[in-house]
């Protein structure tokens, strides 16, 4: 999507504010003893009350209103009877359609107290997201996102999951300019333009460089170690980018 009118930005902001609020509410409710299915039910109720629809359900018939991933599963986890425990690494991804606009956000966190390795992974992934957003400018090459993410990962002694990345969003959950790698691809000559709506979502890992698909056909996991993700929906401008989530 390309934002051309103030009304479009306002619509996108409403969708972004909603998914951000739902993510925050689900994260606050993610305490030891809660089942991921119960967390998802909260998110589904809040979406319904706002007149919004779950984007993964709408787009892909995903078996949950939100994606909730635990442990080595770090993306596209199906909400089920998994009980959260102290020390679990969790990722919640909330994306929704509201009045024709799609917004997407996500965050990884630890239930209770994080271990030092978990803290390092989370801090680095958050740093990578925020640094990648800060350098966005209309006219710059899209591969600057992957260059920035990869630079932060290398500096922090971590790896980038290479078969996942950011993407276009706005009028659909996934749209032009398509997938945006989280690593630097010098062959990618695409450029950012004024009003372009994208997600920025690095996936950093302690050991893995590829996401593996589980037998359920949805969940993505690391064969070794753990991975984390943080995500915002962002509008590119000639100046500071506009974060809507």
Which 8-state DSSP code applies to residue 80?
-
104 appears as a binding residue in the annotation: yes
- The dihedral sign for the CA sequence 115, 146, 199, 54: negative
231 appears as a binding residue in the annotation: yes
183 appears as a binding residue in the annotation: no
Distance CA 117, CA 229 (A): 15
234: left (phi over 0), alpha (psi -120 to 50) or beta: beta
240 appears as a binding residue in the annotation: no
5 appears as a binding residue in the annotation: no
- The string of DSSP codes covering 137-187 is -TTSBTHHHHHHHHHHHHHTT-EE-TT-EEEE-SSSSSEEEEEEESS--TT
76 appears as a binding residue in the annotation: yes
194 appears as a binding residue in the annotation: no
168-199: burial string, b at 16+ Cβ within 10 Å, e else = bbbbebbebbeebbbbbbeebeeebeebbbbb
Residues of the binding site: 76, 93, 104, 167, 174, 201, 231
Residues of the binding site for a divalent metal cation: 93, 104, 167, 201, 231
Residues of the binding site for substrate: 76, 174
């Amino acid at each position: 999507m390309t934002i051309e009118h103030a009304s479009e930005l306002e619509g996108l902001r409403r969708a972004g504010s909603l998914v951000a609020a739902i993510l925050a509410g689900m994260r606050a409710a993610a305490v030891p003893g809660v089942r991921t299915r119960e967390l998802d039910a909260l998110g589904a109720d809040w979406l319904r009350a706002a007149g919004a629809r779950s984007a993964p359900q709408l787009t892909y018939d995903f078996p949950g209103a939100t994606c909730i991933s635990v442990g080595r599963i770090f993306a596209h986890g199906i909400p089920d009877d998994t009980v959260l425990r102290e020390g679990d690494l969790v990722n919640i991804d909330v994306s929704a359609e509201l009045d024709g606009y799609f917004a997407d956000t996500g965050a990884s966190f630890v239930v209770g107290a994080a271990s030092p390795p978990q803290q390092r992974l989370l801090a680095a992934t958050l740093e990578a997201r925020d640094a990648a957003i800060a350098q966005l400018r209309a006219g710059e090459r899209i591969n600057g996102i992957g260059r920035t993410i990869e630079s932060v990962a290398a500096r922090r002694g971590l790896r980038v999951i290479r078969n996942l990345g950011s993407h276009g969003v706005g009028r659909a959950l996934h749209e032009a300019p398509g997938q945006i790698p989280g690593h630097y691809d010098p062959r990618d000559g695409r450029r950012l333009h004024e009003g372009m709506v994208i997600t920025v979502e690095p996936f950093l890992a302690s050991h893995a460089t590829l996401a593996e698909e589980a037998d359920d056909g949805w969940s993505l996991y690391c064969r070794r170690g753990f991975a984390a993700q943080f995500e915002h929906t962002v509008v590119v401008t000639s100046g500071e980018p506009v974060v809507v989530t």
